[in-house]
Structure 1
Amino acid sequence: MKLRLLSAALCTGVALGFAHPALSAEKAQDFVNKAAEGGIFEVESSKIVQGKAKDQAVNEFAQKMITDHGAANAKLQSIAGEQKLQIPAETDAKHKSDLEALKSANGSADQSYVKMQQDAHADAVKLFQDYAADGDNAGLKAFAQQTLPTLKMHQEMIEKIASGKTDSTATTSTAPAATDTDQNASAPVPGANSFTEAQAKSRIQDAGFSKVSALTKDDQGIWRGTAEKDGKQVAVALDFKGNVVAGAQ
């Protein structure tokens, strides 16, 4: 009797042991599906309106989506391939419907595009935030953690466009998009900073600085370095909120 009970317990344990990888793979595949479908929509919808929007800030945002999400999509495809996971070749039905609506819009599609981007980035931030915290595939979890700050930056940008608080003075669609830059603050805000060095550099460049160099993150979570603006070299800092502060020591 004891032998039979022990055997049953071992069989149950083995069965559970095999079940966990399956559940893990299912969760990872679900993340890949949703991330890829959303990423494809970001690029395709932005291609439709880029260069055609009446609002220059929308054109600039669309160009940034094509660049940033195009790179993220390629990285996700590479990771999914390494993990033997399938990646969708096209977006889902709901997003396909949105794309058709943009294509067939009479007149300017600015307002529709902005609303779609607000919704898409709200979904993307939640998806990546959840997987960055609780994902069970190490490669995908790292990808989610690395991509999340960029998605949050995009979300901040599109919310500003929606509220009409942008200050776009660029004359071409490839100019940097408006970002939060506080050059009058006495100091950047300390806090846990999830921006990578590359993302910090890009954020500072988007704020109008060039030749960004010597970036290091201090013990307060603040990226500090040097850059040029208006022909002058200045100290710059980026805090966890994404604020760029010039002249910060």
Structure 2
Amino acid sequence: MSNFKIFSTGLVAIALSVTTGCTPTTPRDQNTSEVPSAQSVQATESPSPSASPTASPSASPTASGQNNLSSSDRQFMIEAAQDGLAEVQLGQLASQRGRSNVVKQYGQRMVQDHTQVNAQLKQLAAQKGVTLPTSIGSNNQQIKQRLSRLSGTNFDRQYLNQMLQAHEKDVAAFQTEAQQGQDPDVKAFAAQTLPSLQQHLEEVRSIVNPGGTSNSTPTSSPTSTPTSSPTSTPTPTSTP
């Protein structure tokens, strides 16, 4: 009997050891897989280097416009700025020193119209990276000084002469730029401004030579030079 108990106890011990050895390890593996590794956490928290935006070198329109602008377009803008400033200053002079109301009114119109054109040109130059002159230039300065010493009808005549020549030059320059310019914005500015300049030219022509032809150089009035009449010669009388 005692041997049977010992034998039974041994069987129970063997069964327990087998059962313990067959215990599944799945719960431990599941717990391990649920915990993220340090590398995965670092990869999730670190932003991608490509996510940060970078400035494009072509984002500056001023630099791009300056590099693409031709020398002829740039020279046109510089000369247009100088002549535009001169038109304003000479127009102010005409409104102050002019004798006739026609000359005074024409000068006031030059101030108004060319001030507006100068502002448009200044805005365009800022977009294209062009530095415009702030003075009228030596040639225009000499003209201004010469007109400043005149008065009365002499001033009116010389001022109108100057406006006639200046606007003929302006119309030709703006026509050339509108047709042959390379930058589309500068060409558009020239084309939009051209009708106003042509109107200024026709107006000063009509003042200088009312009802006459559109000659570029005004001439003096034909009535200013007296001519001898063919009927002024007395006829001889017969003697008795």
Q: Does TM, scored on the shorter chain, surpass 0.5?
A: yes
Measured after TM superposition, the shift of residue 52 of structure 1 is 3.2
Q: Equivalent residue for 1:31? A: 76
Question: Does the 8 A contact of 1:129 with 1:148 survive in 2?
Answer: yes
The alignment's TM-score, normalised by the length of structure 1, stands at 0.56
Q: Equivalent residue for 1:85? A: 130
Task: Tell whether 2:206 aligns with 1:143.
Answer: no
Q: CA RMSD in A?
A: 1.8
Question: Does the 8 A contact of 2:99 with 2:156 survive in 1?
Answer: yes
- Which one of the candidate residues 67, 91, 116 is aligned to 1:46? 91
Question: Counterpart of 1:159 in structure 2: which amino acid?
Answer: R
Question: Counterpart of 1:162 in structure 2: which amino acid?
Answer: V
Q: Equivalent residue for 1:134? A: 180
Instruction: Tell me, in whole angstroms, the C-alpha distance in 1 between the residues paired with 2:145 and 2:96.
Output: 18
> 1:100-145: CA deviations, max 9, x gaps?
0111114441111000000100000000000001111111111100
Q: Which runs of 5+ in 1 are unaligned?
A: 1-20, 167-249
Q: Equivalent residue for 1:115? A: 161
Question: Does the 8 A contact of 1:29 with 1:86 survive in 2?
Answer: no
Single out whichever of 81-90 and 107-116 deviates more from structure 2. 107-116
Instruction: Tell me, in whole angstroms, the C-alpha distance in 1 between the residues paired with 2:137 and 2:194.
Output: 22
Question: Counterpart of 1:86 in structure 2: which amino acid?
Answer: T
Larger radius of gyration: 2
- Which one of the candidate residues 67, 72, 88 is aligned to 2:112? 67
Q: Which runs of 5+ in 2 are unaligned?
A: 1-65, 213-240
Structure 1 consecutive aligned stretches of length 4 or more whose deviation exceeds 6 Å? none
Within-5 A mapping of 1:181-200: none
Question: Does the 8 A contact of 2:85 with 2:135 survive in 1?
Answer: yes
The alignment's TM-score, normalised by the length of structure 2, stands at 0.58
- Going by fraction, where is strand more abundant, 1 or 2? 1
- Going by fraction, where is helix more abundant, 1 or 2? 2
Question: Counterpart of 1:74 in structure 2: which amino acid?
Answer: A
Measured after TM superposition, the shift of residue 24 of structure 1 is 4.4
Judging changes above 3 Å, is the alpha-carbon distance between structure 1 residues 62 and 106 closer, same or farther for their aligned structure 2 residues? closer
Instruction: Tell me, in whole angstroms, the C-alpha distance in 1 between the residues paired with 2:178 and 2:71.
Output: 16
Instruction: Tell me, in whole angstroms, the C-alpha distance in 2 between the residues paired with 1:91 and 1:105.
Output: 20
Within-5 A mapping of 1:222-237: none
Instruction: Tell me, in whole angstroms, the C-alpha distance in 1 between the residues paired with 2:191 and 2:145.
Output: 32
Measured after TM superposition, the shift of residue 29 of structure 1 is 1.2
Question: Does the 8 A contact of 2:99 with 2:152 survive in 1?
Answer: no
Question: Does the 8 A contact of 2:99 with 2:151 survive in 1?
Answer: no
